[in-house]
Amino acid sequence: MASAVSAASQPASWSSRLARVSSFRLRAIVTRTLTDAEIVKRAALLRNDSVHGSFKGTVIEDVPKKAIWINGQLVQLIAASNPEDIDYTQFGIHDALVIDNTGAFTKRADLERHLKSKGVSKVLLTAPGKEVPNIVYGINHKEQDIDNEKVFSAASCTTNAICPILKVVEDHLGIEKGHIETVHAYTNDQNLLDNYHKGPRRGRSAAINMVITSTGAGTAVAKAIPSLKGKLTANAVRVPTPNGSLAIMNLTLTKPIADLAAMNDLIRNAALVGDLVNQIHYQMDPELVSSDIIGDTCCSVFDSNATIVAPDGKSVVLYAWYDNEFGYTKQVIRLAKHVTKVRRLVYY
């Protein structure tokens, strides 16, 4: 599935004062097939979510128009097998950003097929990309050439969760080496019941097993924080929970930290001041569990009560929770606004 969003221009009276647009909205959703029954079903899936609950707004299917009305806004549904076959302009969509979350395309050449569609100007992939800029908003988004580059990657939910914490530690103390272990909610890639799967272990039932699997988060971090290249290893354990994940970062520091309180203070300051206030949620709740972070707008929820610091101050273990659906989606939207030059003043 891919989504097309486009910027909403300011009225003419504002044009002399604002050089950039201040909002954008969802204009279309692309699927491989589209029957009348599928339109009704997709609207129903948006109204109610098993994890996040009911949609706080209105969702009305419009079968004759092959569309869904979301809070009074018409969102066109488009069926297409190939990106280049779509003409968005026939639906009044111009200069659009396509957000590709199909999982089918990860290479630049494949993603650039979207640019052959009429009405598309940029593409954003919701997965680690190959041969394209991999961006973690808040970490390296300011370093990108958004004027000339047309294809971007928002990395993965895990990469977005660990990068803010790793960035703070690397900048202030330095990281010699480390291992990232992700305790991750099961995903659509796994089987509900035991069945054939091309990947090892993933064929076993996701609902009743903890499943060790690989993750590219360790190497993906280096694309956002180059100084960590070759310093991190990573693995993942898929667990029987539908949403809410945990990253455990076992790090060896270049410069020792005084004690546990000093380590936590470092992360707390980053969560309150600087470029990462929207990325790090510093949690002090001693009873925090995975369901508590569902719906958190930050991509990294730092569990201060779980921090471990070795007596020598050189080895630390840091825990970051993340809503691998909603928290990551917020990062994707932040990046989408950045690459389309949508700017809105935010007051704290």
Which residues are designated catalytic?
157
Only one residue has tokens 């690459």, namely 339
Task: Tell me how far apart the alpha carbons of residues 169 and 56 are, in angstroms, rounded to a whole number.
Answer: 38
If you search the block for the tokens 């455990």, which residue do you land on?
248
| Gap between the Cα atoms of 137 and 277, Å rounded | 11
d(CA 54, CA 171): 41
Identity at 286, one-letter amino acid code: P
Give, in order, the Cα–Cα distances in Å from 271 to each of 31, 79, 274, 275: 38, 42, 8, 9
Q: Are 257 and 175 in contact (CB under 8 A)?
A: no
| Long-range Cβ contact pairs of 194-198 (< 8 A, separation 24 or more) | none
Report DSSP letters for 87-148, one per residue.
BGGGGT--SEEEEE-SSS--BHHHHGGGGGSBTEEEEEESS--BSS-B--TTTTGGGS-TTT
Q: Which residue has the tokens 């991750």?
A: 184
Pair type for strands 308-309 and 315-322: antiparallel
Tokens, residue 56: 């706080």
Answer positive or negative: Cα dihedral of 126, 128, 129, 133.
Answer: positive
Which residues lie closer than 8 Å to 106 by C-beta, 6 or more apart? 125, 127, 128, 129, 130
Alpha-carbon separation of residue 76 from 27, 102, 198, 322 (angstroms): 6, 18, 35, 31
